[in-house]
């Protein structure tokens, strides 16, 4: 068997893996990256963050063209060429993955295409695409093998009309009637795309609200804005899914469930993602993996084997690309001898739905649970000149959560147009330990959507003049 020796081996070339490999190479370490697919970028670039955002961009333009009739501009119904839509999305992915390949080359990171399995704590066997095997002997290893869509035993996943997110992103067809199982971010983003392209979309959720864990005041704004887009079946359990010639027949039970079975043209299963930790031969090492495939690490991303690190989705929630990237940097720096730790003050999360939902730091649910003496300050976009001018005022809210004892910002959430872009200020404020005064006295440009953050802080401070001030001095 062919043998390669390296200082750092990275397994998996998603955002975590390629970032770790590039940082490691930039720190002067000999680096090899093993990825089973031909392109770098992992789930995020190939079948996740990027293709979904390309499709959401297309959907947004269609929606905006429809919406502008409120201002007296009328477009005809759009003609949709689904092949061209897919081509556009594939082009975006290709530009990014090609860019990554050339950056790997520039940094002299050796990319081996194949599937890696641990032989022991210093070597892996890589099965190459041609069936041959290569042994990679490493001083240090960073496992960044990611996650995959969860599968359920009662779902006939083998039927081509039963989709996971990767199938949905292929946009081969627009089903007339689409069922989405699960009310999380991935399902709702794909549902947004397909409903705009013409599907009638049912969303079945076990709980009472979409995006579990999101504060109710935020999710209410989203749900109201989407009442015509989705038929949301809350407190609904899926009882059986039977593929038939004429469609996928689904029976439900629960408070809001349809009494009779419903026939769908496609079903998107979006019930979460499972980590890939149990497929790597880690039983040949001391690395600890739990039943869900999650690898245990310390705050330097080190596993129980002192020269093996793990990052990204494979170590758990939140399963987000930017978390994986930062963990990748820390792991590579620890290997290079830096005294660094992964201890973020906040990890932002964004649903790129219509409207977007973005949050960072603590939610109100978490603040309550932690027993913090907190106060919420919310600025409704109906009072924002920019939101009104852009016709997005009815579905926007900026919410800040402050510690009442210290006035420090502990969390924030925004629902509304471009909420994801607006969130940056809240993330930085949390990282810099800003208090309400820091935000309220920062001069925000007018008219902007981001001034809603300054105004929410002014509400807490009692200095707001663009909105009724509940803390004003009372006069007779």
Ligand X SMILES: Cc1cc2nc3c(=O)[nH]c(=O)nc-3n(C[C@H](O)[C@H](O)[C@H](O)COP(=O)(O)OP(=O)(O)OC[C@H]3O[C@@H](n4cnc5c(N)ncnc54)[C@H](O)[C@@H]3O)c2cc1C
Based on the shown chain and the rule CB under 6 A, indicate whether residue 250 belongs to the binding site for ligand X.
no
Alpha-carbon dihedral sign for residues 223, 227, 230, 234:
positive
Give every CB contact of residue 467 below 8 A, 6+ residues apart in sequence: 379, 383, 455, 459
Burial class (CB in 10 A: 0-12, 13-18, 19+), 216: exposed
**Binding-residue total with ligand X (CB under 6 A):** 35
Distance CA 49, CA 55 (A): 10
CB of residue 282 vs ligand X: minimum separation in angstroms?
A: 10
Q: Closer CB to ligand X, residue 168 or residue 257? A: 168
Among 32, 44, 193, 289, binds ligand X (CB under 6 A): 44
Q: From residue 303 to residue 332, what is the string marking binding to ligand X with x (rule CB under 6 A)?
A: ---------xxx----xxxx-x--------
Q: Please, which of residues 152-171 interact with ligand X by CB under 6 A? A: 165
CB of residue 264 vs ligand X: minimum separation in angstroms?
A: 20
Based on the shown chain and the rule CB under 6 A, indicate whether residue 419 belongs to the binding site for ligand X.
no
Based on the shown chain and the rule CB under 6 A, indicate whether residue 358 belongs to the binding site for ligand X.
no
Interface region with ligand X, contact rule CB under 6 A, candidates 31-39, 232-240, 382-390, 466-474: 31-39
CB distance 41 to 17 below 8 Å:
no
Structure tokens at 421: 């872009």
CB distance 172 to 147 below 8 Å:
no
Based on the shown chain and the rule CB under 6 A, indicate whether residue 13 belongs to the binding site for ligand X.
yes
Based on the shown chain and the rule CB under 6 A, indicate whether residue 280 belongs to the binding site for ligand X.
yes
Based on the shown chain and the rule CB under 6 A, indicate whether residue 16 belongs to the binding site for ligand X.
yes
Q: Closer CB to ligand X, residue 201 or residue 387? A: 201
Among 49, 85, 225, 295, binds ligand X (CB under 6 A): 49
Q: From residue 113 to residue 152, what is the string marking binding to ligand X with x (rule CB under 6 A)?
A: --xx---------------------------xxxx-----
Based on the shown chain and the rule CB under 6 A, indicate whether residue 287 belongs to the binding site for ligand X.
no
CA dihedral angle for residue 361, residue 180, residue 193, residue 228, rounded to 10 degrees = -90
Among 32, 56, 141, 186, binds ligand X (CB under 6 A): 186
Distance CA 274, CA 63 (A): 33
Angle at 346 between CA 344 and CA 349, to 5 degrees: 130
Active site residue 446: yes
**Where in the sequence numbering do the catalytic residues fall?**
446
Q: Which residues bind ligand X (CB under 6 A)?
A: 11-17, 34-37, 42-44, 48-49, 52, 115-116, 144-147, 165, 186, 276, 280, 312-314, 319-322, 324
């Amino acid at each position: 068997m062919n043998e390669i020796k390296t200082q750092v081996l990275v397994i998996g070339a998603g955002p975590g893996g390629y970032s770790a490999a590039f940082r490691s190479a930039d720190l002067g370490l000999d680096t090899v990256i093993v990825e089973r697919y031909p392109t770098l970028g992992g789930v995020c670039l190939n079948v996740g963050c990027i293709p979904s955002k390309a499709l959401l961009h297309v959907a947004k333009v269609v929606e905006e063209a429809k919406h502008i009739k409120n201002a007296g501009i009328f477009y005809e119904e759009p003609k949709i060429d689904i092949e061209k839509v897919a081509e556009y999305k594939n082009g975006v992915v290709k530009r990014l993955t090609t860019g990554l390949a050339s950056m790997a080359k520039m940094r002299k990171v050796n990319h081996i295409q194949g599937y890696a399995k641990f032989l022991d704590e210093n070597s892996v066997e890589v099965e190459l695409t041609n069936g041959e095997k290569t042994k990679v002997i490493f001083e240090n290893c960073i496992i960044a093998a990611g996650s995959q869509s969860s599968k359920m035993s009662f779902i006939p996943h083998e039927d081509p009309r039963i989709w996971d997110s990767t199938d949905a992103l292929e946009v081969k067809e627009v089903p007339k009637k689409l069922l989405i199982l699960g009310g999380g971010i991935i399902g709702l983003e794909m549902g947004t795309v397909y409903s705009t392209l013409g599907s009638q979309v049912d969303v079945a959720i076990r709980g009472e609200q979409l995006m579990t864990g999101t504060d109710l005041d935020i999710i209410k704004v989203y749900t109201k804005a989407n009442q015509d887009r989705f038929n949301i079946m809350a407190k609904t359990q899926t009882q059986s899914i039977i593929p038939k010639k004429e469609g996928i027949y689904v029976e439900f039970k629960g408070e809001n469930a349809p009494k009779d079975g419903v026939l769908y043209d496609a079903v998107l299963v979006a019930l979460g993602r499972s980590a890939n930790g149990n497929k790597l031969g880690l039983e040949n090492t001391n690395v600890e993996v739990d039943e869900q495939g999650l690898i245990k690490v310390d705050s330097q991303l080190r596993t129980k084997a002192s020269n093996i690190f793990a990052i990204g989705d494979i170590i758990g929630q939140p399963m987000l690309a930017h978390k994986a990237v930062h963990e990748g940097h820390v792991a590579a720096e620890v290997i290079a001898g830096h005294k660094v730790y992964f201890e973020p003050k906040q990890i932002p999360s964004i649903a790129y739905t219509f409207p977007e939902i973005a949050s960072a730091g603590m939610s109100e649910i978490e603040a309550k649970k932690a027993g913090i003496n907190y106060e919420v300050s919310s600025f409704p976009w109906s009072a924002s000149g920019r939101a009104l001018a852009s016709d997005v005022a009815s579905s926007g809210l900026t919410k800040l959560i402050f510690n009442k004892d210290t006035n420090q910002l502990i969390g924030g959430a925004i629902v509304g147009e471009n909420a994801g872009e607006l969130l940056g200020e809240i993330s930085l404020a949390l990282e810099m330990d800003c208090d309400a005064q820091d935000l309220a006295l920062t001069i925000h440009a007018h008219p902007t959507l981001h001034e809603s953050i300054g105004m929410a802080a002014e509400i807490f401070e009692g200095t707001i003049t663009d909105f009724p001030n509940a803390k004003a001095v009372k006069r007779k």
